[in-house]
Chains A and B, each alone.
Chain A
Amino acid sequence: MEAIMKELAKQAKARPVLLQKAKEEGKKVIEYTGNFIPEEYIRAAGAEPFLMCRGGDPEAPDAVLEYMLRFMNPLARSMAGYWLMGMDVVTPITDLIVMQQTDNHVGRISELLEFKGLPVFKVGVPPDWDKQLAVDYYKDQLKKFVAKMEEVTGNKIDEDEVRKNFAKTNAINERLRKISELRKKNNPPIGFSEFIKLNHYSFAVDNDVMIGKLDELYDELKDAPGKFMEDCPRILLVGHAVAIGDYVVPKILEDAGAAIVADFLDEGIRTYNDDVALEGNLIDNFVDAKYVNKVPIDIFQPAWEQRFEYIKKLIEENRIDGVVWYQLAFDEIYDMECSCVAKWLKEMDMPMLKLESSYEYSRESMGPLTTRLESFVEALKGGKKNA
């Protein structure tokens, strides 16, 4: 696994260089945020997509404080922060930043980028997803997005090309699902630290290469021994996002002897359980798969009861011993959902740890953070022994 992960990491890191080269060859570079923007259309338009979901550094969120309220989540702030700091090599060469408008954190940060003169295109994603009005609105937004792609690239998008791209992402999803299934083993051969990185790499590495590497990895892992201590606590990680680069918390948990065997995150991860049907109208299919039929993201309304049903399903299917709620600081809606989840989990006697991250991983912060995580894992171990 290590060699494959290293290879993928190398290719993912080299992505900006490839983008620069593509740009020199006359291709357009399109950055985008979130799972509600179908990158398949960007590729089909002949442009190069790049997911904007970097985080885990405290400096980037701080860089926007001159312009924005400090009580905004650090992931949204990082979207502008890295660029403001001059630590973003892609945004300066990007031809367009397509930003899904799901909440006000990212909404206002989009406006900051516009204020600073960057080319931003917004795609509205209505939170009232159970209304037909909203579904039609989102479809209309996606049609505008497609038109924008054609305008920026000067290329007419070929529906078959889009279909091919969806087929590839479905193939990646299928392989991620297979690998994720391996986490259900008593002692999983892969941890969340690797699994989330696989997701992140899959956004940056060539699709065909990724499919091949995921096959290789699955073959290697399917009969591999577990990588954790026998009978270690099994954790479900729930939250907004584990951003590209924000790997501290999962690592501490796994180092403390727990296995994160399931995850439920709204961003920074592929929606690998939800394939897009390839027959018929692809925008309709995408909306059905990612908006109408998918478990709603936290900001959608109504969402929380349905999300908790899904959490319960994950707990049952993955024999979960404890839940870690991984919240980004000042993410007010997740904070509210957490109160519901905490209450409902308590009623199930399921231990939960709430963590908030402001991407502050200084030496001073790491001590208490590590102690909290280790204590939680130890408590889960104790619970397992007693059981």
Chain B
Amino acid sequence: MGALAHRNFLKLLDFRGEELESFLPRWEAAAEKIGLTEKDVDFAVQEWIPAYWDTSLRGVRLCMAAYIRELVEMCSLDQWKKAGSKVVYGIMPSQPVCYRAIKFAGGDKVKISYPDFLMASVLNSFFNRADPLMEDTTVMTPRCRHCGLNKLRLNARRQDRIVSPDVVWNWGLYCNEGPKTEELIQCLEDPKWSYITTMVPHDQAYGSHEADNEERVQYLAAQLEYAQKKIGEITGVPVEREHMCQAIEEYHSYIVRLDYLNHLVGNADPQPITGNEITLFGAPTGMAFDTGFRYLREALETMIREVEARIAAGIGVLPKGAPKLGCHFIPFCLPWVDKAFLDQGVSLSFSTCFAFSKEQLNFIDCKNPYYTVAKHWYQGANAVNMKDEANIISEILKEYRLNGMLYGFYTFDRWLGAHQKTMIQMVEKQTGIQHFYIEGDFWDDENYRIEDRIRQIENISYFLHMEKMISI
């Protein structure tokens, strides 16, 4: 097997010729760094990836390759540091603009990375091997239900799989645990683990549209600008308005095309690609790649062309008329969930988490870029009060043809996961779309038995089929 497994893996992702030869040793080093053995890679090539990812689609292959390129970049950060580059980590949830602006300002003088999100996505989705980085029974105790990403970040540092950055910019704008994990790492593992937080209390009146609250938007903008300035002082690379604008335009052009793909997939019957596959393209809107949007954009455009072709040919992952479920965030890190639904004749079609409101798509203003980022943040559904969230999601859902929505998988998150059972009642009322809830953990499902999850999936699927038949 040997290095062949690595070579086969890269070939599967469309690496060819000189690029394959030059990238292979870097990938092998990266795989070793994050704890992937050749056996793991071979298992992925032979079994895991074929089971959950349609690599006959070039867009999928290119997108997976974009993640791998970014992972290899992350694993070489120690070399960049030695060569004098500064390292800035970002943490999901955030929005890539501010981090990408750092890159526009500094080029390779500053390297950016989202190590936990990247590793969780790659290791879970492509290799089923994130467990060793999420297992910890002493520091973040399992019964307390901590976030897999935070556990992974802590353990990756403990196991020396990631370098200590010059600074982490942590947006604690959803949960409390994300930013506190930086403090935990600093206190327990690495006194040099330096961080800056951007936090705003969740204190808005129920039902208020937070994006319309100028005071609130201005406060977040001030917090972002403050953090960016501090980071500039650490890296020695000040970020100017023009860099922010470049990043806004780059991001905006990506989400506009992603939104187009969402609509293609969400409204096509039969559905041309799986939920896992579309989520691959959505997830990078919650993190910034050091390698930028270049590879992702190529993958996205390829995917769009392939999806259009499949729609024209009437090709789908399930027969025409199969029920479709939207999700908050299709659990692509547990790719068997999507597959289990498909096996039951139901497709997961898109994630509201990576669908954009009209406000977000239409608002772009570079005069005050931090204000723009802040406004965009509150125009989205996740950071705002429950009723505002329900209203935003209801508006988005009106644009899709769905038979239901699936929520859950957020037992670790006291912001995103805590209120879902109530919030979905409000969306159901506004849209008439039936919602389902499965308790689970998006990143780390070790507390749940797969058999139980499959049984719930079978029940939901059965219900959807029956409802469809009865309504006909």
* Residue among B175, B184, B205 facing the most chain A CB atoms (10 A cut-off): B184
Query: How many Å lie between the Cα of A3 and that of B90 in the bound state?
Result: 59
- A68 touching B418, Cβ below 8 Å: yes
Per-residue contact bits, chain B 420-446, to A (CB 8 Å; 1 contact, 0 not): 111000100000000000000000000
B22 part of interface (Cβ distance < 8 Å) = no
Q: A101-B203, A115-B386 are in contact. Are A72 and B418 (CB under 8 A)?
A: yes
Interface residues of A in 316-340 (CB under 8 A from B): 329-333, 335-336, 339-340
- A343 touching B188, Cβ below 8 Å: yes
Interface residues of A in 101-124 (CB under 8 A from B): 101-105, 107-108, 111-112, 114-115, 120, 122-124
Residues of chain A within 8 A (CB-CB) of B419 are 67-69, 108, 111-112
A137 part of interface (Cβ distance < 8 Å) = yes
- A131 touching B226, Cβ below 8 Å: yes
Query: How many Å lie between the Cα of A184 and that of B73 in the bound state?
Result: 58
The one of B146, B417, B420 in contact with A335, judged by C-beta atoms closer than 8 angstroms, is B146
A301 part of interface (Cβ distance < 8 Å) = yes
A279 part of interface (Cβ distance < 8 Å) = no
Query: How many Å lie between the Cα of A336 and that of B177 in the bound state?
Result: 9
Query: How many Å lie between the Cα of A67 and that of B386 in the bound state?
Result: 12
Q: Which residue of A lies closest to B179 (CB)?
A: A301
Residues of chain A within 8 A (CB-CB) of B199 are 126-128, 134, 301
B144 part of interface (Cβ distance < 8 Å) = yes
Query: How many Å lie between the Cα of A72 and that of B415 in the bound state?
Result: 10
Query: How many Å lie between the Cα of A164 and that of B426 in the bound state?
Result: 45
Q: Which residue of A lies closest to B417 (CB)?
A: A69
Residues of chain B within 8 A (CB-CB) of A67 are 419, 421-422
A158 part of interface (Cβ distance < 8 Å) = no
Residues of chain A within 8 A (CB-CB) of B226 are 131, 133
Residues of chain B within 8 A (CB-CB) of A123 are 203
B379 part of interface (Cβ distance < 8 Å) = no
- B144 touching A331, Cβ below 8 Å: yes
Interface-side segment among A251-259, A302-310, A379-387: A302-310
Query: How many Å lie between the Cα of A69 and that of B417 in the bound state?
Result: 7
Residues of chain B within 8 A (CB-CB) of A305 are 187
B223 part of interface (Cβ distance < 8 Å) = yes
Per-residue contact bits, chain A 358-386, to B (CB 8 Å; 1 contact, 0 not): 00000000000000000000000000000
Residues of chain B within 8 A (CB-CB) of A304 are 183, 187
Query: How many Å lie between the Cα of A333 and that of B138 in the bound state?
Result: 14
Closest Cβ of chain A to B468, distance in Å, is: 28
Residues of chain B within 8 A (CB-CB) of A131 are 226
Q: Which residue of A lies closest to B415 (CB)?
A: A104
Interface residues of A in 123-168 (CB under 8 A from B): 123-128, 131, 133-134, 137, 141
Residues of chain A within 8 A (CB-CB) of B401 are none
Closest Cβ of chain B to A266, distance in Å, is: 13
Q: A67-B422, A101-B202, A120-B206 are in contact. Are A333 and B188 (CB under 8 A)?
A: no
- A122 touching B204, Cβ below 8 Å: yes
Q: Which residue of B lies closest to A132 (CB)?
A: B226
Query: How many Å lie between the Cα of A71 and that of B447 in the bound state?
Result: 13
A25 part of interface (Cβ distance < 8 Å) = no
The one of A141, A303, A336 in contact with B203, judged by C-beta atoms closer than 8 angstroms, is A141
A299 part of interface (Cβ distance < 8 Å) = yes
Residues of chain A within 8 A (CB-CB) of B200 are 124, 126
Query: How many Å lie between the Cα of A137 and that of B226 in the bound state?
Result: 14
Per-residue contact bits, chain B 139-154, to A (CB 8 Å; 1 contact, 0 not): 1110111100000000
Query: How many Å lie between the Cα of A118 and that of B144 in the bound state?
Result: 30
Residues of chain A within 8 A (CB-CB) of B145 are 71, 330, 332
Interface size on B, residues (CB 8 A): 47
Q: Which residue of A lies closest to B187 (CB)?
A: A340
A66 part of interface (Cβ distance < 8 Å) = yes
Q: Which residue of B lies closest to A120 (CB)?
A: B206
Query: How many Å lie between the Cα of A304 and that of B183 in the bound state?
Result: 8
Residues of chain B within 8 A (CB-CB) of A102 are 201
The one of A69, A124, A125, A134 in contact with B411, judged by C-beta atoms closer than 8 angstroms, is A69
B351 part of interface (Cβ distance < 8 Å) = no
- B188 touching A332, Cβ below 8 Å: no
Closest Cβ of chain A to B162, distance in Å, is: 19
Per-residue contact bits, chain A 281-305, to B (CB 8 Å; 1 contact, 0 not): 0000000000000000001011111
Closest Cβ of chain B to A123, distance in Å, is: 7
Residues of chain A within 8 A (CB-CB) of B219 are 133, 137
Per-residue contact bits, chain B 179-220, to A (CB 8 Å; 1 contact, 0 not): 111011001100000000101111111100000000000010
Closest Cβ of chain B to A90, distance in Å, is: 21
Query: How many Å lie between the Cα of A304 and that of B180 in the bound state?
Result: 10
Residues of chain B within 8 A (CB-CB) of A72 are 414, 418
Q: Which residue of B lies closest to A107 (CB)?
A: B202
Query: How many Å lie between the Cα of A107 and that of B203 in the bound state?
Result: 8
Q: A115-B206, A128-B197 are in contact. Are A105 and B183 (CB under 8 A)?
A: no
- B180 touching A104, Cβ below 8 Å: no
Closest Cβ of chain B to A311, distance in Å, is: 13
Point out residues on A near B: beta carbons under 8 Å. 66-69, 71-72, 101-105, 107-108, 111-112, 114-115, 120, 122-128, 131, 133-134, 137, 141, 299, 301-305, 329-333, 335-336, 339-340, 343, 356
Known: A68-B421, A72-B414, A108-B386. 14 other contacts (CB 8 A): A69-B417, A71-B417, A102-B201, A105-B418, A127-B172, A127-B176, A133-B222, A299-B176, A301-B172, A301-B183, A332-B140, A335-B140, A339-B184, A340-B188
Point out residues on B near A: beta carbons under 8 Å. 138-141, 143-146, 172, 175-177, 179-181, 183-184, 187-188, 197, 199-206, 219, 222-223, 226, 385-387, 410-412, 414-415, 417-422, 426
What are some 22 contacts across the A-B interface (CB < 8 A)?
A: A69-B410, A71-B145, A71-B417, A72-B414, A101-B203, A103-B414, A104-B414, A104-B415, A111-B385, A111-B387, A114-B386, A115-B386, A131-B226, A137-B201, A301-B180, A329-B143, A330-B144, A332-B140, A335-B144, A335-B146, A336-B146, A339-B188
Q: Which 7 A-B pairs have the closest CB atoms?
A: A124-B203, A124-B201, A114-B206, A104-B414, A108-B418, A122-B203, A101-B203
